[in-house]
Amino acid sequence: MEQAGVSEPAIRAFERAYGQLVAKETAMLPEHAISPVESLPSAEQLAEPAPTEASALLAQCAVLKLNGGLGTSMGLDRAKSLLEVRPGVTFLDLIARQVAHFRETTGANVRFLLMNSFSTSADTRAFLARHPKLGDADGIELLQNKTPKIDAATLAPAEWPAHPDHEWCPPGHGDLYPVLAGSGALDRLLAEGVHYLFVSNSDNLGATLDPKLLKWFAESRAPFAMEVTARTPSDRKGGHLARSVDGKLLLRESAQCPDADLDAFQDITRHRFFNTNNLWLRLEPLRDALAAAGGFLPLPVIQNKKTVDPRDKKSPAVFQLETAMGAAIECFDDSAAIVVPRTRFAPVKTTGDLLTLRSDAYVIAADGTVQLAPERGGVPPKVDLDDNYKLVDQLEAALAGGAPSLKNCASLKVSGPFTFSSSVVLAGNVVIENGTIREA
């Protein structure tokens, strides 16, 4: 790791994770060790700050977007944020537009950072040339670390001479904290008078910098806050908020749940709040916590069992040691959480999500924000596409004539080949099967 240029905080975090693997320690959280979160404050109750107050707070806030994902499940080989949301307009274009809007309308120098991976850095840096007002790429980019894959049989570093890159893996987005420490970015932000950091995924255009939430976080005095939203049946397998035995907030991921407790994990009436991965950090307490632990936070370690070559299921089994940034909620006393509207959680994980975003179910404002159309009542259409549309290239071919109207569509299920066009209007519950459109 030293030879590969990995930062010292990231090496220390890996040493801890590897030690737990060797000692057969796991991050399992059985149901009896936690309790549900019964109630939380709601963002819908918050008032807008006065313009002068908003400007003062924004001047003390930075925005950081996680931009390390390639979207390989959709057939992409570059940063997912470079996908077009509308013709000629990418995720990153809209994010840049949002930051520019705050700077221009409030006069506050809202800082902007991107955490890239080794896979997304080159393409993203080249793209940033389209937005010189954001700043120099060297000042914007934080580079995610990499860690060795561990041979599951020997617990030695995995070796795969045919493709040496396969011997390494990203350590999960919990690497954010060693990156902030090891890069010097945390000290630089504090020196510039920045006290708050808003973090979210670049593929979630609903996660905008909201002055109401910034004011709430500043006044809460909490060192760390997580935005959560109400779980729905589609979120049953996603991480949920809970409380430890001593009452502290924590995040439980599915990989931390014993098989015997899966029913309780997926009970959305018991565990009601879903992590959006929109986080608020107060930088002074973060600096102190990182310094106390050697430049990283002692996050729960997920021991993911994979194959060394992800495309060759017969290649040797390996462990990838990963952490989740939201798990830091348990690393601070007095961490907080707040319930936000579902519109603040609209990530693009599938081509169905991308189809919905490209349709008129969403409206893009001049300031770069993306909102559901008024007709949607705050609920996006449920879109289910079969394997004919699994990859972005396949979807692009189906949308050669433009995206259909979905603003009045409750659900859409498509199987078999079909070519959409902007003149197609879908309403209610719709099934398209081998070119035939019918009501579900």
Any domain includes 36:
yes
Q: What per-residue confidence (pLDDT) applies to 33? A: 96
CB-CB contact of 382 with 401 (8 Å): no
pLDDT exceeds 90 at position 310 = no
pLDDT, one tens digit per residue, over 335-349 is 999 999 988 988 898
Alpha carbon distance 238, 275 (integer Å): 8
What is the arithmetic mean of pLDDT over 263-277? 95
Domain range for residue 158? 8-344
Query: Taking residues 290-312, what's their average pLDDT?
Result: 94
Cα pseudo-dihedral 253, 257, 262, 267, rounded to 10: -50
For residues 343-371, average pLDDT: 91
pLDDT of residue 234: 79
Check: CB of residue 290 under 8 Å from CB of residue 184.
no
Q: What is the pLDDT of residue 157?
A: 97
pLDDT exceeds cutoff 90 at 288: yes
Residue 299's domain is classified under what CATH number? 3.90.550.10
Number of domains forming the structure of the chain: 2
Confidence of residue 402 (pLDDT cuts 50, 70, 90): very high
Last residue of a domain, one of 321, 344, 367: 344
Q: Is the pLDDT of residue 238 over 90?
A: no
pLDDT digits (tens, 9 = 90+) for 71-125: 777 888 788 999 999 989 999 999 999 999 999 999 999 999 999 998 899 999 9
Average pLDDT over residues 178-191: 96
CB 57 within 8 A of CB 211: yes
What number is the average pLDDT over the span 371-393? 92
Q: Is residue 434 part of a domain?
A: yes
Same domain, 365 and 333: no
Pairing of strands 370-372, 111-116: unpaired
Tell me the one-letter amino acid at 340: V
Q: Which pair of structure tokens corresponds to residue 184?
A: 């010097």
User: Is 314 in the same domain as 386?
Assistant: no
Residues 183 and 263 in one domain: yes
DSSP H helical ranges for 39-128 = 51-58, 91-106, 121-127
pLDDT, average across residues 144-159: 97
- Phi-psi bin for 304: left (phi > 0), alpha (psi -120 to 50), beta? beta
Residue 13 above 80 pLDDT?
Answer: yes
The answer on pLDDT for 65 being more than 90 is yes
